[in-house]
Chain A
Amino acid sequence: MRISVASGKGGTGKTTLAVNMALALSRERDVDLMDFDVEEPDCSNFLGIGTEKVSDVMIDNPVFNRDICTRCGECGRFCRYNAIAVLKDQVMLFPELCNGCGGCAMVCPVGAISYTSRRIGEVRSGQLGALHFHEGVLVPGEAKAVPVIDELMRYAAQDIVIMDSPPGTSCPMMATVRGSDHCILVTEPTPFGLHDLRLAVAAVREIGVEHGIVINRYGSGDSRIEEYAKEEGIEVLLKIPQDMEIARLYSDGIPFVDERPDIAKELVDLYERLEGGSL
Chain B
Amino acid sequence: MAAIASPRSAIADCDVDASDLHLVTSPEVEKSEDFFGLDIPIIDSARCTRCGLCRQSCRFDAIDGSINVIEDRCEGCGVCELVCPVGAIVMEKRLDGRIFSSMTRFGPMVHAALKAGGEGSGKLVSMVREWTRKKAMEMKKEFIIVDGPPGIGCPVISSITGADLSVIVTEPTVSGISDMKRILEVTEHFDVRSLCIINKWDLNTKKTKDIESFMDQKGIPIIGKLPYRTDFNRAQILGRTLYEEAEVEVREVLEGIWNRTIVELKGD
Q: How many A-B residue pairs have CB under 8 A?
A: 180
Q: In angstroms, how far is the closest chain B Cβ from the Cβ of A244?
A: 8
> Does chain B have a CB within 8 A of A265?
no
Closest to B119 in A: A171
Given known A9-B18, A101-B59, contact A190–B237 (CB-CB < 8 A): yes
> CB-CB < 8 A to A199: which residues of B?
17-18, 116
Chain B min CB distance to A135 (Å) = 12
Contacts of A10 in B (CB 8 A): 18, 150-151
Q: How many residues of A contact B (CB 8 A)?
A: 63
| B12 located at the interface, meaning its Cβ lies under 8 Å from any Cβ of chain A in the complex | no
Kindly supply a per-residue 1/0 record for chain A positions 187-230, scoring 1 wherever the CB is within 8 Å of any chain B CB and 0 otherwise: 00011100110010011001100000000010011100000000
- Our pick among A80, A167, A195 for the contact of B151 (Cβ within 8 Å) is A167
The distance from the CB of A104 to the nearest CB of chain B, in whole angstroms, is 10
Tell whether, in the assembled complex, residue A169 and residue B230 are in contact, meaning their CB atoms are under 8 Å apart. no
Interface residues of B (CB under 8 A from A): 17-18, 20, 23-24, 38-39, 57, 59-61, 72-73, 75-79, 82-83, 114, 116-119, 121-122, 149-157, 171-176, 178-179, 182-183, 185-186, 189-190, 203-204, 207, 228, 230, 233, 236-237, 239
Q: Which 3 A-B pairs rank lowest in CB-CB distance, beginning with the nearest? A: A253-B174, A101-B77, A203-B116
Measured CA separation A167–B82 after assembly (Å): 34
Judging by beta carbons under 8 Å apart, are B178 and A42 in contact?
yes
A125-141 vs B, Cβ < 8 Å mask (1 yes, 0 no) = 00000000000001011
Q: Which residues of A contact B179 (CB under 8 A)?
A: 40, 42
Q: Once the chains bind, are B182 and A168 in contact (CB under 8 Å)?
A: no
Q: Inside 8 A of B203's CB, which chain A residues have their CB? A: 247-248, 251
Contact A169-B116, Cβ < 8 Å, known A103-B82, A140-B189, A251-B174:
yes
Chain A residues with CB under 8 A of B171? 251
Q: Would you call B59 and A168 a contact (CB within 8 A)?
A: no
